[in-house]
Structure 1
Amino acid sequence: MRSMNQQTEAVYIHIPFCTNKCFYCDFNSYVLKDQPVMDYLRALDKEMELTVKENPPGRIKSIFVGGGTPTVLKPDEMAYFLQSVKTHFPDWAEDIEFSMEANPGTTDLEKLSVMRAGGVNRISFGVQAFQNSLLTGIGRIHDTDDVYRSLENARSAGFSNISIDLMFGLPNQTVEMLSESVTEALKLGLPHYSIYSLKVEENTLFHTLFQKNQLPLPDEEDELNMYLLLMERMREAGYKQYEISNFAKPGFESRHNMTYWRNEDYYGLGAGAHGYIGRKRHINIKGVTPYIQAAQAGLPRLESYEITHEEAMEDFVMVGLRVLDGISRSRFAQQFDASLDDVFAGPLGRMTQRGLLESTDEGYKLSSKGVLFGNEVFAEFIGSLSAN
């Protein structure tokens, strides 16, 4: 386990531009048309420079570029951006995982080749479904033909570590439709799949429709059956469910996401990005132009705040339990110089008694029932120490 003085080894970078805004999306993203893209990338370069001056990096083990849709950058913009990353974070682990999110239809062979040459070695496509009617219904602009073409281009550019995202609980989606999507996804033979349930977030078109009772979502029983089906199908196909929503072949688990789930430090760069270094969290200014202006004057922070010892312990448990191997007593002791069982005796006891958690040789993990009611388990730990 890292010590408080260890240098940061993980980097998140936010590219906030999209071709359009999906109906369910509440991420900090903006439609690309007429945006000052190069000014943004120069501001991002400046933030990287100031960040590493304040907190020098260690050997970087993972970089994750999210959005938005990072692959809307043109090849020359992409090359500039990747050179900035390499300039300010030059010391990479030999087995670095360098991931970039992509939307099918925004990645031709030229752009993918620029990405690969710039060090990107893992790509995650936001596919979401294999029915064009569902894709249209959630505001995606790609179709299934774009998916197959994008994957073919990625392989031609030298990518083998490829993941796709799917969603369930979508408007008008049936259990049979999800099963069909899982079948098509598994035919691709990829090493990693992320499969998330739809959350209706505020400030989205879907939230507006939901408030008006105009969003035809599957009922709770169908949504539960969708989750049970995808877990069974992925297990039968030889994929380990290593986190509530993520499935991988051995060795292809997302290393960057494991940084979050282990509550380890990471840089957060770009408009609206969150970072966590030395028990201090920050959130960057969200708007594109305000971010650009702020980065010219210094670090473009919207907010920075210390995480208390108690909050850090709660975070360790809540995010750690998302991983199906669970949380480790020894990791907890190394990070907090305290006993996991003593600190959280109450909630651990209650959740174990209810059959939602299981004690292991290492610590605790969600039971098969607990996986279905994870949010109920996590909520048990929120404020549990500050409430005492």
Structure 2
Amino acid sequence: MHPFMASPKALYIHIPFCTNKCHYCDFTSYVLKGQPVDSYLDALEEEMKRTVAELPPDRIDTVFVGGGTPTVLTPPQMKRFLESVFRHFPIAEGAEFTMEANPGTTDADKLAAMKAGGVNRISFGVQSFDNGLLERIGRIHNVDDVYRSLENARSAGFHNLSIDLMFGLPGQTLELLSDSVDRAMALGLPHYSLYSLKVEENTLFHKLYERNELPLPAEEEELGMFLLLMEKLKAGGYRHYEISNFAKPGYESRHNSTYWRNEPYYGLGAGAHGYARGQRHVNLKGVQPYIDASQAKLPRLESYSIPEHEAMEDFMMVGLRLLEGVQASRFAMQFPGHRLEDHYGAVLEKQIRDGLLERLDAGGDTVYRLTERGVLLGNEVFGAFLGVEQG
């Protein structure tokens, strides 16, 4: 069987509940108070049953539970949820099992339920080590919660820990960011994700932006922030393995690498996306519509086939986010009978001439990867592959 017609080996599950809605967030998430959480977990189990009946899994190597804030589940809900995952999916021994968490939502009992239930990696949404900035972006945790949550996680036996930090925030300066990254690195965690603020529609920040009331750093200042982050993390022994991600060797996110290599994955839960056998789907976003639909069928908002040329574009745009680059052999494996250079030779040559990409010979395989300048102009590089096939 063609490798990408095989069942996915990665599983994403969405828990859409939060303690509050952050000012920059456009994810499928709902404030927890009054939500039918137990009915949602029932519906999720129904979707698991229908999913494995329709597309039987062979072996799951990575699980990622995102949100929302999955750690708003109570310890009994957490136990029940994790048991249902293992009941329906064959999770491999040694699988990476990540759960997103918000500082302040992980007490000892919650962490014990996560550990006993098979979670072995936690990604904390810290965003900043400045209390004023945290308040400004709508986070309800403070810096003390961050330290306490990480200490609790380590005491519970979790060592594969990651934190998210944001830059380009309203009112953020280079000094504030420098202090945050120093404090983050002092924790000695194996993984850091660093994201620039994107002002998305349907968020409070978008409304403020439209009214010219969002004091964002200038473009040059934001670039300076990214350069500072790269410099500090590399100096600290972290490998810059994807545009927004840094890890100690061996601690790269295995689950997210599935996305960056354009490989298939199961996607379950309200608003979740999945990709398998050349089809993408998006689930219904509202909690109650999702619950109602799950009783009778897979709770899809839409499903559609990906034309081969679009899958090739996706392969290039997400693959070049990885600093190891894209391999001609991997392209040929995903698209049998096609050569990377036959489709994108002209674009690749232009990017090489412009100093944004470099070509390497890796043991007989050809690799294209971002140069240092290309890393800073990533969106320009990725955009160059759009529409080439029709052009």
Q: Same fold (TM over 0.5)?
A: yes
Q: Which residue of 2 aligns with 1:41?
A: 41
Q: Distance in 2 between matches of 1:142 and 1:348?
A: 45
Q: CA deviation at 1:5?
A: 3.3
Q: CA deviation at 1:92?
A: 2.2
Q: Which residue of 1 aligns with 2:286?
A: 287
Is the contact made by 2:5 and 2:278 (CA closer than 8 Å) also made in structure 1?
no
Correspondence 1:100-119 to 2 at 5 A = 100-119=99-118
Correspondence 1:66-81 to 2 at 5 A = 66-81=66-81
Q: CA deviation at 1:383?
A: 1.6
Q: Distance in 1 between matches of 2:335 and 2:8?
A: 18
Cα deviation code 1:278-297 (max 9, x no counterpart): 11000000000000000001
Q: CA deviation at 1:326?
A: 0.2
What SS class does the counterpart of residue 295 from structure 2 fall into? helix
Q: CA deviation at 1:94?
A: 2.2
Q: Distance in 1 between matches of 2:35 and 2:4?
A: 39
Correspondence 1:1-388 to 2 at 5 A = 3-89=3-89, 91-337=90-336, 338-361=338-361, 362-387=366-391
Q: Distance in 1 between matches of 2:331 and 2:24?
A: 36
Q: Distance in 2 between matches of 1:230 and 1:372?
A: 12
Tell me whether 199-208 or 339-348 shows the greater mean CA deviation. Answer: 339-348
Is the contact made by 2:4 and 2:264 (CA closer than 8 Å) also made in structure 1?
no
Q: CA deviation at 1:7?
A: 2.1
Give the letter for the 1:22 counterpart: C
Q: Percent identity?
A: 66
Give the letter for the 2:111 counterpart: L
Cα deviation code 1:106-140 (max 9, x no counterpart): 11010011000000000000000000000000000
How many residue pairs align between the two structures?
Answer: 386
Give the letter for the 1:86 counterpart: F
Consecutive unaligned residues in structure 1, runs of 5 or more = none
Q: Distance in 2 between matches of 1:234 and 1:385?
A: 38
Q: Distance in 2 between matches of 1:8 and 1:326?
A: 22
TM-score between the two structures when normalised by the length of structure 1: 0.98
Q: Distance in 1 between matches of 2:102 and 2:2?
A: 34
Give the letter for the 2:263 counterpart: E
- Report the aligned-residue RMSD: 1.0
Give the letter for the 2:312 counterpart: M
Q: CA deviation at 1:2?
A: 6.6
Q: CA deviation at 1:303?
A: 0.3
Is the contact made by 2:4 and 2:263 (CA closer than 8 Å) also made in structure 1?
no
Q: CA deviation at 1:33?
A: 0.5
TM-score between the two structures when normalised by the length of structure 2: 0.98
Q: Distance in 2 between matches of 1:128 and 1:48?
A: 32
